[in-house]
Amino acid sequence: MSEEQLRRVRDRVRPFPDFPVPGVLFRDISPLLKDPVAFKALLDLLEDHLRASFPKIDFIAGLDSRGFLIGPALAQRLGIGFVLIRKKGKLPGPTESVSYALEYGKAELEIQSDAVEPGQKIVIIDDLLATGGTMCAACELMKRLKAEILECLVVIELKLLKGSEKLKSIPFYSLLQYE
């Protein structure tokens, strides 16, 4: 991993105290997305990690909404498809859905029932892992479709919230970690 690329990515993550509620330090990737050199560095680092870790991946599955910003570009680089995991009510056709707890309430995720076939190898991506509720819900959806989850991949992990512990035996990788 290039320390220069990692520094460039880290330097473009902006902290916002007390957002969306008092006491929360929000990690904003907007500056990272605005900077084409930093965004390319992010994609390079994630691509290198996945190529080194997994000889075969069928799909990148991205979480609504920031997983949609990184996942398709990464999938394109790997020459594979991208699958949407959306908030409830946003996908047409038959879907699978799951309810889960958020840091600030409850939510539901869903995926189209034919998004993946049993046994297909999936990497689930999002921008950030906090308490792990959203990522666990995405894993549950993939399990229902009988996909093989190779890894849950995020740009930022908030270590203090211990979200990766909820993933239990599912491999997890974060590029940046904050306490």
* pLDDT tens profile 128-176: 999 899 999 999 999 999 999 999 999 999 999 999 999 999 999 999 9
| Average pLDDT over the chain, rounded to an integer | 95
Residue 119 lies in domain: 3-177
Count of domains in the chain?
A: 1
Q: Is 8 a catalytic residue?
A: no
In which band, very low, low, confident or very high, does the pLDDT at 20 lie, cut at 50, 70 and 90? confident
Q: Which of 47, 77, 103, 148 is catalytic?
A: 103
User: Whole-structure pTM over 0.85, yes or no?
Assistant: yes
Backbone angles phi, psi at 67, to 5 degrees: -65, -25
Q: Output the domain CATH number for residue 36.
A: 3.40.50.2020
In which band, very low, low, confident or very high, does the pLDDT at 104 lie, cut at 50, 70 and 90? low
Q: Find tokens 């995405």 and name the residue.
A: 138
Closest C-alpha to 154, from 135, 167, 131, 140: 135
Closest C-alpha to 83, from 100, 66, 69, 68: 68
Q: Which of 8, 27, 66, 86 is catalytic?
A: 66
CA distances from 1 to 125, 129, 159 (A): 19, 21, 21
Q: Is 108 a catalytic residue?
A: no
Q: Find tokens 């991205």 and name the residue.
A: 62
